[in-house]
Amino acid sequence: MSTRSDRPVFRFAPSPNGLLHLGHALSALLNHDMAKAAGGRFLLRIEDIDANRCTPEFEAAIFRDLGWLGLSWESPVRRQSEHLDTYAAALTRLTEMGLVYPAFMTRGEVKARVATFEADGRAWPRDPDGSPLYPKDDRHRSETERHDLIDSGLRHAYRLNMSEALKIIDRPLSWQETGDGKKGPIAADPAAWGDVILSRSDAPSSYHLSVTIDDAAQGVTHIVRGLDLYSATAVHRLLQELLGLPEPVYHHHRLIRDEAGQKLSKSEGSTGIASLRDQGLLPDDLRRLVGL
Ligand code: GLU
């Protein structure tokens, strides 16, 4: 008989910063179905490090919508806001490895820098999502200068020094992909993301750091999520290697798009699970709508 520890572990990990839509329904149902088919476990994780945008009402709506869809999950549910110490400890570890620096530029300052640079007809490097890479200025500050800036009360985030991190790994990284796009071992290119954020100025962690730590802490073996996070997997693989965490298998699924071909957003009422339920649709109708 299989024990709890050798069963595959799947998870659905929404952020309670809006109502769930059909894209979330596809992801949650796929995770649940794949866990069932594999005789595995299905976990729900609440990704709520952003205290400014996440609310208990949206969290309650997640439970309500998933329950209505017919899903059940293990208790207790892990909430990221209850594990901030764990993320801080990982940040300290990476700092002690010499891989982290305080980053003082605001999003607006980065934008202005890029605009000035590009006004000369030169192209600023961008990450796979199209955002400009963080300028290198803060990487090279002295310790004294860093302390002075922090002591002056300047808001700051913490970023990974990507080139130093890659020196430690010093070999090509890859991940195992079983999803809707390319399958097999996929070459991971974390450098394409530049100096990624590990701890935000307005939250004590970042998506990349907390997702990587939680998947390991919860023993997740299969990560099933949308193709919008495909390229970010490179960053997660790098953090796994740096922190000595196990490597899960990844399955990135197709995205549900609106009539204009855009990815669904949480503000979109018409494709919300709750709004479709209120219109009288049944859970099986939603399964059909997402193509399952
Ligand atoms: N919390 C992320 C989101 O809502 C998903 C994280 C993941 O599946 O890796 O988009």
**What's the pLDDT tens digit per position in 6-30?**
899 999 999 999 999 999 999 999 9
Residue 184 bridge partners (DSSP):
177
pLDDT of residue 269: 67
How far away, in angstroms, is 21 Cα from ligand 1 center? 14
How far away, in angstroms, is 50 Cα from ligand 1 center? 13
Atom of ligand 1 nearest to the CA of 47: 1
Distances (CA, A) of 48 to 11, 12, 202, 254: 15, 13, 13, 24
Site to probe by mutation for ligand 1, drawn from 207, 208, 222, 265 as the one with most ligand atoms within 8 Å of Cβ, is 207
Q: Quick one: which H or E segment has residue 192?
A: none
What would the pLDDT profile of 194-218 be if each residue is shown by its tens digit?
999 999 998 889 999 999 999 999 9
How far away, in angstroms, is 14 Cα from ligand 1 center? 6
* Residue nearest atom 6 in ligand 1 by C-alpha distance: 13
pLDDT of residue 263: 76
Q: Pocket around ligand 1: residues whose beta carbon is below 6 Å from it?
A: 13-15, 47, 211, 225, 229
* Residue nearest atom 1 in ligand 1 by C-alpha distance: 14
pTM: 0.95
Closest CA to 40 of 286, 292, 219, 229: 219
pLDDT of residue 169: 96
pLDDT of residue 3: 60
How far away, in angstroms, is 53 Cα from ligand 1 center? 15
How far away, in angstroms, is 57 Cα from ligand 1 center? 19
How far away, in angstroms, is 226 Cα from ligand 1 center? 8
d(CA 51, CA 49): 6
Site to probe by mutation for ligand 1, drawn from 24, 26, 30, 47 as the one with most ligand atoms within 8 Å of Cβ, is 47
Residue 207 structure tokens: 């998506």
Spell out the domains of the chain, with CATH numbers in brackets.
1-82+256-292 (3.40.50.620)
Q: In residues, how long is the chain?
A: 292
How far away, in angstroms, is 266 Cα from ligand 1 center? 13
The separation between CA 257 and the C-alpha centre of its own chain, rounded to angstroms, equals 20
pLDDT of residue 5: 67
Ranges of residues in the chain whose predicted pLDDT is under 70: 1-5, 266-269
